[in-house]
């Protein structure tokens, strides 16, 4: 049976009604210490990443891998694809689909909302999944979504592989309040990008990490990978695992 349903919670006031695909869950093999929602890239699904994440040496993490709704993509001339939000063009000046980003970020928050109080919560992803994850980081810091609805989750970690930071230009002047500054400064973020990426150029990942740092996200780690294209490799997954173990103080 397909575990699908429209985003709820803070997304209920949005005009866009979407139906998410199947959600795949990887249960922790050891003591449950953290839950991370992992978001796939454009045209993919939650299953492929759940299979990879299950192989990582991270027995204390529960992974939740949802599948994005199928929706028309402007980049593809309106042809539908599984996507967290619409993409008009992959360039720095392209418009951001704030409504779609809010729906996706609210879906992530909803998936994390029922986790036990003592569990550390995070979001990560690849490509546009990374975009949604980094957008969620800004929502957490600001305490609200782009539409003004309150952001309800206390994030402990954010990961973005081969992606970019949507709405970076709109952050100017918004992270000045002390409470917002503290949330931004305390959130560990890992950004990884391949120098050979021909889909989402390397400079997007590099500039996104620089933008986060310039806006007060003090715990950003940026890892470049020479020769890596728009995919992941064991070295990247090994370093991600080590970073998560250290950042979340996992028992292993």
99: domain CATH number is 3.40.50.1820
- Tell me whether residue 15 is in a domain: no
Backbone angles phi, psi at 146, to 5 degrees: -60, -30
- Beta pairing partners, 63: 26, 36
- pLDDT given at position 218: 96
Count of alpha carbons within 13 Å of 87, Cβ hemisphere only?
25
- Tell me whether residue 211 is in a domain: yes
- Beta pairing partners, 189: 158, 220
Name the domain count of the chain.
Answer: 1
- Tell me whether residue 5 is in a domain: no
- pLDDT given at position 5: 31
- Measured CA angle at 190 (ends 63, 116), to 5 deg: 35
User: Which segments in the chain show pLDDT lower than 50?
Assistant: 1-15
- Tell me whether residue 7 is in a domain: no
- Measured CA angle at 243 (ends 189, 82), to 5 deg: 60
Active site positions, annotated: 127, 197, 230
* Tokens read off for 176: 């000045």
Domain with 227 in it: 21-248
- pLDDT given at position 220: 98
- Tell me whether residue 64 is in a domain: yes
- Tell me whether residue 4 is in a domain: no
- pLDDT given at position 251: 85
- pLDDT given at position 17: 64
Query: In sequence order, what are the residues at sequence separation of 6 or more whose Cβ sits closer than 8 angstroms to the Cβ of residue 12?
Result: none
- Tell me whether residue 8 is in a domain: no
Q: Is the pTM of this model over 0.85?
A: yes
């Amino acid at each position: 049976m397909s575990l699908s349903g429209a985003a709820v919670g803070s997304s209920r006031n949005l005009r866009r009604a979407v139906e998410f695909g199947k959600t795949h869950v990887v249960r922790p093999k050891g003591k449950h210490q953290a839950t991370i929602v992992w978001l796939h890239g454009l045209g993919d699904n939650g299953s492929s990443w759940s299979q990879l994440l299950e192989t990582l040496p991270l027995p204390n993490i529960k992974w939740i891998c949802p599948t994005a709704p199928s929706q028309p993509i402007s980049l593809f001339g309106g042809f539908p694809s599984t996507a967290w939000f619409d993409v008009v063009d992959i360039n720095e000046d392209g418009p951001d689909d704030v409504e779609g980003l809010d729906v996706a970020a609210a879906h992530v928050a909803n998936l994390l909302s029922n986790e036990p109080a003592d569990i550390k919560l995070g979001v990560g992803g690849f490509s546009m999944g990374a975009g949604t994850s980094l957008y969620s980081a800004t929502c957490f810091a600001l305490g609200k979504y782009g539409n003004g609805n309150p952001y309800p989750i206390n994030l402990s970690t954010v990961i973005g592989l081969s992606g970019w930071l949507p709405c970076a230009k709109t952050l100017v002047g918004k992270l000045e309040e002390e409470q917002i500054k503290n949330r931004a400064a305390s959130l560990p973020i890992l950004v990884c990008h391949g120098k050979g990426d021909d889909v989402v150029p390397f400079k997007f990942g590099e500039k996104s990490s620089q933008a986060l740092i310039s806006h007060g996200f003090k715990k950003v780690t940026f890892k470049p990978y020479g020769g890596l294209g728009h995919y992941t490799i064991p070295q990247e997954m090994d370093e991600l695992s080590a970073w998560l173990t250290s950042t979340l103080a996992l028992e292993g």
